[in-house]
Structure formats: C-alpha cells, structure tokens
Structure 1
Amino acid sequence: MAVRPPRWYFSLRSPYSWFAYRELTENARDVADAVEWRPYWEPGRVTAPLLADQGIELAYVPMSKEKHLYILQDVKRLAAERGLTVGWPVDTDPDWDVSHLAWFLAEDEGMGREYIGRACEARWGRGLDISDPAVIAGIGKELGLDGDALAGAAEDPQTVRRGVEALRQVSRDGVFGVPFFIHRHDKFWGSDRLDRFVETVRAGSRPAPAAAGPHSVPAEPAGQAPAGDAGHAGGCG
C-alpha cells in the first residue's frame, strides 16, 4: 500500500492558520514544499447542500462565546510576539465557499500559496471581508490572475465539485479544526504543534512518545470524543 504524503489543512478564516502559514513559508520551506496543502472550511451556500445530499457531515463544533473571547485575547498576544498587527474583520454572515473555492483557481495557476498569504493578510491584517467577491477579485488582480474568475468560483460547477471532494477528504481524514497536520498515522492540531509536525516530516519517522509529566492530559478512551467546545491555544474549529 502506498504511503500517503504528509499534509496540512489550512483555513482562511483562522488566525492560527495564518500564523502556521507564515511559519511554514518563512522558517520551514522544505516542509512546505514536501507536504500537500489542503483547504478546510465550514461549508457555505453552495457546498453545504451538496455535502448533505451525500450524507457527509464534518466534525465541526460552533464556537462558544467564552472561547471566542479567549481567542481574541490569544491572537492579539501571539500576533504581537510575531511583530504583527491584527485588523479584526467584521463579517457578520460569512460564506467561506467564496474565498476557499477561489483558492483552487489560484492553485491551478501556481499561485495557491501566494493567494493564501494575500487572503490572510486581507482578513487578519486589514480586517476585510473575504466573503465579499469584490475583495477576492481584488486579491486575484494583485496576483496577476483573473480576478473575476476567482470572485465567481462559487458559481462555477466544476470548481464547486472540486471543493466538495476536498471537504470529503476533510471528513475522511478526521479533521475537526485548523490548522491540522497529518504525517502517517500521527495528527497534530494547532499552530503550537507545528514544530513537532516539522520534526516528524524532516525525520521521516514517527515521533517518540512524550514523557508523562505533572501537566499531562490523559488520552480520551478509544471511540470517545471530548464533550463540548474542547480546544487549546493554537487551533480553532
């Protein structure tokens, strides 16, 4: 059986994915080149009904108010440590199909990574609504791409089919939050797990088990998912 390549799931709506993107492309380019880049997003207007028709349900848990407030504080702190200023976006009714389906078209032109960088900067650096097709068109034009095509990706049946298949892969891989990294049988959730993922990809082997310590968290029993809005710094749903 062929060994599946390492892969990471990114989302344009996640500030932690933004941090992971910057660290991968700036400090671990060899790993960025070695892994598959895969989008993850909450299904929107066009993909949600198609996934429902196929009986596919992603492991997505709506964020609690308490976690949302914590993330605001945490992201501000982590951004400051990286010399970044966050321009908090105002998008009261986002449709993540718009920005994520556009990525497929940018990727076709060899500009997928650049698109992610521009989209994250637009959302987290300038506080723009990347669910607005006009914003996506502007990003496309900045990259020398067909901005109108990117802005209309969610209206293109072929691109929508690719998006549905990508979200099917999200379900098959058991991804429940972002950023999410997979190497062989090992899964890592959160930007604060990126260093460990980079180590395992570079080593080409499974990581050694972490030693138990006073702050160790017991593993969940097999087949039992944590209840509620579980999470940790470095990742979000």
Structure 2
Amino acid sequence: MARKPLKPPKLYFSFRSPYSWLTMRRLRAAVPNVLETFDVYPYWDPDQRTSRELAEAGGEFHYAQMSRAKHLYILMDTKRLAQAEGVPMAWPIDVDPFWELPHLGWLRARAAGKANEFYDAVIEARWGRGENICEPEVLTGCAEQAGLDPVSIVDAHLDDAIRKEGTGCLYQAYLDDIFAVPYLKWGQHRFWGLDRVDAFLRVFQADDETPAVQPPAKPETAYDTDQAGGCG
C-alpha cells in the first residue's frame, strides 16, 4: 500500500452548501477532531472587496452560479438525504446574502479557539431553523451561543487582518483548483461531494506505517498542477 501523505488533509467547506453540512456531519462522526487536525478552509461567494483582493493576489474564483433548475433539484435532493439520515432540516431563504459575515466570522471564532462551537451554532441556525445567517442579528445569536463576543464576530469583515486571511483561503482554493464544495484534498487524492466522503475515509483510515496526522502549524500555499474535474 502507498504511504499516506504526511501533511493533513485539506477540507473546503461552506455554510451555504447543504452538501457541505451533510459532509461535515459524516466526517466529524468518523474523525471528531476534524476542525483541529485538518487544514480547513471556508469557501464562499466573495464580495467586491474580496474579489478585488483575490485578483490582486493573482487568483480567481472558480465556482459558477447554478441555474434555477439545479437549485430546485438540490433542494429536493437535500431533503431526501436529510430524511434518510434522520436529520431535521429547514431550508433557508437567502436574500442578497453577504457571505463574508458568517465565513469571516468563523475565521475569527477559530482564532479564539471556538471553531467547533461557532460552526455548530451557525449550522443549527441555518439548517436547523432556516434562518438567514448573513443577518447580523442571527450571527449575534450564534456568537453568543458559542461563547464569543458578538461584536467581534459580526464585525470580523471590517478587520483588515481577517479579510486578508479570508482572501488567503480563497487564493488557496484557486491554487488547489477547487470549483465547488465540499472538497477534500490529501496529497494527490481528491474527493468532491458528499458521495465521496466514504471513499476519502477508506483512504484516510487505512492502516499503514505512516505516523498519525498532526495539527498543522499553518495552511500550506504550495501550488499543484492537478486539473479540476467532475460536473456541476
């Protein structure tokens, strides 16, 4: 058997994506410390400022907006998947969403040692209650539930350092040819979508002589030449 990569897997997630939510549920059931031991990158539709800074860094956003027909299919498909797993779900309505708010808020929560708590609070609000997590009032409640200062979370998008970190996440996604989430990348192994989680876990949990993955000091920024694949 080939030796496992020595560096941690990269996990790209989005609060927007129902498949990302369901993927994270499965991953955390199998690897409870995912958010601490994997290189985790939030991935979202950037606003004008983030888009400009991403372009200035030499990157671009690979994701293409879906059609109404695809959106309706995902709605039905997600409800079917959630029901099959016995998970209650309320479909949120996104009106002019400002995705920097929850995703940059999560980066600040992670810096405060509350990545799991804030993630869970946002997921509960979005997929459990169908709330608009891009509204400051909703995110305030999530921050309070996670034991965080609400103002620091809601105002994270105003912090230049957090903005730079967020742009860095999307730039790394550009380097890794990420075109949609959820996406797992480990060495040359790539797994896109909820239906590839089990395939990833088979590789990740396979027995060999490689030492266990240790928490990363900081995300890597090396470019690889794999091409994006798949559809959608």
TM range (shorter): 0.7 to 0.9
Q: Which has the higher contact order (CA 8 A, sep 6+)?
A: 2
Instruction: Choose which of 57, 72, 79 in structure 2 pairs with 1:54.
Output: 57
Cα distance change, pair 51–81 in 1 and its aligned pair in 2 (3 A)? same
Instruction: Choose which of 70, 76, 84 in structure 2 pairs with 1:73.
Output: 76
Deviation at 1:139, TM superposition (A): 0.6
Q: Tell me how far apart the structure 2 counterparts of residues 224 and 104 of structure 1 sit (CA, whole Å).
A: 26
| Counterpart residue identity of residue 201, structure 1 | F
Cα distance change, pair 204–12 in 1 and its aligned pair in 2 (3 A)? farther
Q: How many residues align?
A: 211
Deviation at 1:31, TM superposition (A): 5.7
Deviation at 1:224, TM superposition (A): 8.6
Contact 1:123–1:129 (Cα < 8 Å) also in 2? yes
Q: Tell me how far apart the structure 1 counterparts of residues 147 and 228 of structure 2 sit (CA, whole Å).
A: 48
Q: Tell me how far apart the structure 2 counterparts of residues 223 and 199 of structure 1 sit (CA, whole Å).
A: 23
Deviation at 1:30, TM superposition (A): 6.0
Residue 9 in structure 1 maps to residue 18 in structure 2 = no
Q: How does 1:147-162 map to 2 (within 5 A)?
A: 147-162=150-165
Contact 2:51–2:60 (Cα < 8 Å) also in 1? no
Could you state the TM-score of these two structures normalised by the residue count of structure 2?
Answer: 0.84
CA RMSD between the two structures: 2.1
- The residue aligned with 2:206 is 203
Instruction: Choose which of 126, 130, 135 in structure 1 pairs with 2:129.
Output: 126
Contact 2:144–2:150 (Cα < 8 Å) also in 1? yes
Could you state the TM-score of these two structures normalised by the residue count of structure 1?
Answer: 0.82
Q: Tell me how far apart the structure 2 counterparts of residues 200 and 111 of structure 1 sit (CA, whole Å).
A: 29
Deviation at 1:121, TM superposition (A): 1.6
Cα distance change, pair 223–18 in 1 and its aligned pair in 2 (3 A)? closer
Cα distance change, pair 180–204 in 1 and its aligned pair in 2 (3 A)? farther
Cα distance change, pair 45–147 in 1 and its aligned pair in 2 (3 A)? farther
- The residue aligned with 1:135 is 138
Q: Tell me how far apart the structure 1 counterparts of residues 58 and 137 of structure 2 sit (CA, whole Å).
A: 32
Q: Tell me how far apart the structure 1 counterparts of residues 89 and 150 of structure 2 sit (CA, whole Å).
A: 25
Q: Unmatched 5+ residue regions in structure 1? A: 206-221, 232-237
Q: Tell me how far apart the structure 2 counterparts of residues 126 and 194 of structure 1 sit (CA, whole Å).
A: 25
- The residue aligned with 2:109 is 106
- The residue aligned with 2:184 is 181
Q: Tell me how far apart the structure 1 counterparts of residues 207 and 82 of structure 2 sit (CA, whole Å).
A: 31
Q: Unmatched 5+ residue regions in structure 2? A: 209-225
| Counterpart residue identity of residue 140, structure 1 | A
Deviation at 1:32, TM superposition (A): 5.8
Q: Tell me how far apart the structure 2 counterparts of residues 46 and 98 of structure 1 sit (CA, whole Å).
A: 13
Cα distance change, pair 61–204 in 1 and its aligned pair in 2 (3 A)? farther
Contact 1:45–1:95 (Cα < 8 Å) also in 2? no
| Counterpart residue identity of residue 24, structure 2 | Y
Q: Tell me how far apart the structure 2 counterparts of residues 40 and 224 of structure 1 sit (CA, whole Å).
A: 16
